[in-house]
């Protein structure tokens, strides 16, 4: 189970006819309302692409998020996702098309239209096929269910050029003994380099970022403001630290719904500063990191992934910038593809991040082998058979120390292969 693993969620998927392949392309996840009309313990959060050019669903999600955070809109109850058409570069007509779909789902499940958040991925610049979607919605709603079959269908319906579906889950036990679950599904393969925004909340300093489509559910009881705080940080620390091709999309989104149903006996929502809160954040991070890494593994043309851990930086932000500069260098990506332990490309890419460091104080290890130290290569290390073995693995791990600061960050990229060029040079607009 994944997206309906937490208590209080149902999912469904169907084939609306949007994908030319005829594969399933419409998916819905809903959060059940409070039993007997009681207090709604639900929460919603979102981190969205920072791109200046965005699709209609992003415009709507930004507005919904803003109104939820300000307490002027009831917490969303559903996310409607289609693949095959991104509803981007579609102008005002695109917004109206999405709203028609939202309204129909809302009518069927008895909520407000703005409590249904749309999400779209696929071709850009073509009108959303509203009729196909509205024709499919009644059957979609009627088939809502929980369990592995519904979850698998959801994860497959949101795929585009993905080769495999991507899901994750986690479970924690609170100090009260209650079990809180987290479920998730995501998609992404190309145009992957999320830079997610945040919804600014006073006195919460981090500058987050995020990517692709990811949907996370949990049955924790948490306020929307706190859930947004968690996602502001996790968007920056997980999805925004992966890259396939350094091209953030106009549709990158992470949408999160919490039902609160695992904490019925609690008098208060989760306190993020408590031990339970920290445990919850760690589990959310694990789920987000898992989805993010699955996306890189399935990156277009990728044959292996590589992680770059930067340590000793003056701040987490500077470590993050260096790590992302390294994973995005085409020269480094080609070296990883060719199993070449090219320390020079890694170190010079690091030097391009706009963060000053002293190469004489820096060192680089690839796998267990230190290949660069004190501004020069460790010549004998380049013949170490453990280095060749590290370069041949499905995952190549590098660690770059740039000084003695406490800042560290890990970014994950993939190699650059001729297949990437084939996939993207032969694609027709």
* Vertex 13: Cα angle to 11 and 18 (nearest 5): 145
Closest distance of CB 95 from a second copy, Å:
11
Q: Judge contact between 13 and 28, C-beta under 8 A.
A: yes
Rounded distance between C-alpha atoms, residue 243 and residue 220, angstroms: 30
Closer by beta carbon to a second copy, 169 or else 195 = 195
Nearer to a second copy, 74 or 344 (CB): 344
In the sheet with 253-258, reading across from the earlier edge strand, the strands are 43-48, 253-258, 213-218, 179-187, 166-173
User: What is the C-alpha to C-alpha distance for residues 382 and 357, in angstroms, rounded to an integer?
Assistant: 24
For residues 150 and 4, give the distance between their C-alpha atoms in angstroms, rounded to a whole number. 8
Smallest separation (angstroms) from a second copy to the CB of 388: 12
**What whole-number distance in Å separates Cα of residue 168 and Cα of residue 296?**
15
148 or 374: whose CB is closer to a second copy?
374
Candidates 4, 211, 217, 218; catalytic one: 211
Q: Cβ-count burial of 120 within 10 angstroms (0-12 exposed, 13-18 middle, 19+ buried)?
A: buried
Report how far Cα 300 is from the mean position of its chain's Cα atoms.
17
Quick check: is 218 catalytic? no
Looking at the Cβ atoms of 17 and 344, the one nearer to a second copy is 344
In eight-state DSSP terms, residue 394 is S
Minimum distance of a second copy from residue 334's CB (angstroms):
4
Region class of 28: left (phi > 0), else alpha (psi between -120 and 50), else beta = beta
Task: State CA 262 to chain mean position distance.
Answer: 24
Contacts with a second copy by CB under 8 A lie at 50-54, 88-91, 124-125, 190-191, 195, 245-250, 328-332, 334-335, 337-338, 340-345, 347-357, 359-360, 362, 372, 374-377, 382, 416-418, 420-422, 424-429
Tokens 């479970």 belong to: 171
User: Nearest 5°: phi and psi at 374?
Assistant: 65, 30
CB of 371 to a second copy, least distance (A): 9
In the complex, least distance from residue 396 CB atom to a second copy, rounded to whole angstroms: 14
Please enumerate in sequence order all residues whose Cβ is within 8 A of that of 18, keeping only pairs 6 or more positions apart, or say none.
Answer: 25, 26, 82, 83, 84, 85, 122, 129, 132, 133
What are the residue ranges of helices labelled H in 273-384?
A: 275-297, 316-328, 330-337, 343-351
Closer residue to a second copy in complex, CB, 36/354: 354
Nearer to a second copy, 25 or 300 (CB): 300
Nearer to a second copy, 23 or 247 (CB): 247
Return the residue matching tokens 């309302």. Answer: 33
Q: Which is nearer to a second copy, 27 or 210 (CB)?
A: 210
Q: Which residues of 285-322 are buried (b: 16+ CB within 10 A; e: fewer)?
A: bbbbbbbbbbbbbbbbbbebbbbbbbbbbbebebbbbb
Q: Closest distance between a second copy and the C-beta of residue 81, in Å? A: 20
Which of the residues are catalytic?
211
């Amino acid at each position: 189970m994944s997206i309906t693993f937490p208590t209080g969620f149902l999912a469904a998927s169907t084939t609306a006819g949007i994908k030319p392949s005829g594969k399933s392309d419409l998916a819905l996840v809903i959060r059940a309302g409070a039993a007997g009309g009681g207090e709604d313990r639900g929460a919603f959060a979102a981190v969205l692409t920072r791109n200046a050019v965005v699709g209609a669903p992003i415009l709507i999600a930004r507005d919904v998020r803003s109104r939820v955070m300000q307490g002027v809109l009831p917490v969303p109850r559903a996310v409607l996702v289609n693949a095959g058409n991104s509803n981007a570069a579609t102008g005002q007509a695109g917004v109206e098309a999405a709203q028609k779909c939202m309204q129909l789902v809302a009518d069927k499940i008895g909520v407000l239209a703005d409590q249904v958040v749309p999400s779209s991925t696929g071709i850009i610049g073509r009108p959303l096929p509203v009729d196909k979607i509205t024709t499919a919605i009644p059957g979609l709603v009627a088939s809502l269910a929980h369990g592995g079959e519904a979850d698998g269908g959801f994860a497959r319906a949101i795929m585009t050029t993905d080769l495999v579906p991507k899901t994750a889950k986690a479970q924690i036990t609170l100090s009260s003994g209650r079990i809180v679950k987290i479920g998730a599904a995501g998609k992404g393969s190309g145009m992957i380099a999320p830079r997610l925004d945040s919804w600014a909340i006073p006195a919460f300093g981090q500058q987050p970022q995020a990517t692709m489509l990811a949907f996370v559910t949990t049955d924790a009881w948490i306020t929307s403001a706190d859930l947004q705080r968690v996602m502001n940080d996790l968007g920056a620390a997980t999805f925004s630290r992966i890259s396939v091709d350094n091209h953030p999309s106009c549709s990158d989104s992470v949408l999160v719904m919490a039902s609160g149903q695992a904490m019925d006996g609690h008098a208060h929502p989760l306190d993020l500063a408590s031990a339970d809160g920290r445990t919850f954040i760690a589990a959310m991070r694990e789920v987000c990191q898992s989805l993010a890494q699955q996306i890189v593994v399935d990156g277009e043309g990728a044959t292996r992934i590589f992680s770059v851990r930067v340590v000793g930086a003056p701040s987490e932000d500077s470590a993050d910038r260096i790590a992302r500069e390294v994973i995005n260098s085409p020269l480094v990506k080609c070296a990883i593809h060719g199993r070449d332990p090219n320390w020079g490309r890694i170190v010079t890419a690091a030097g391009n991040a706009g963060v000053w460091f002293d190469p004489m104080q820096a060192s680089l290890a690839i796998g267990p082998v230190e290949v660069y130290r004190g501004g020069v290569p460790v010549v004998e290390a380049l013949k170490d058979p453990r280095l060749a073995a590290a370069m041949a693995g499905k995952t190549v791990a590098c660690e770059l120390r740039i000084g003695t600061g406490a800042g560290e960050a890990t970014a994950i990229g993939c190699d650059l292969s001729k297949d990437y060029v084939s996939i993207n040079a032969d694609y027709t607009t």
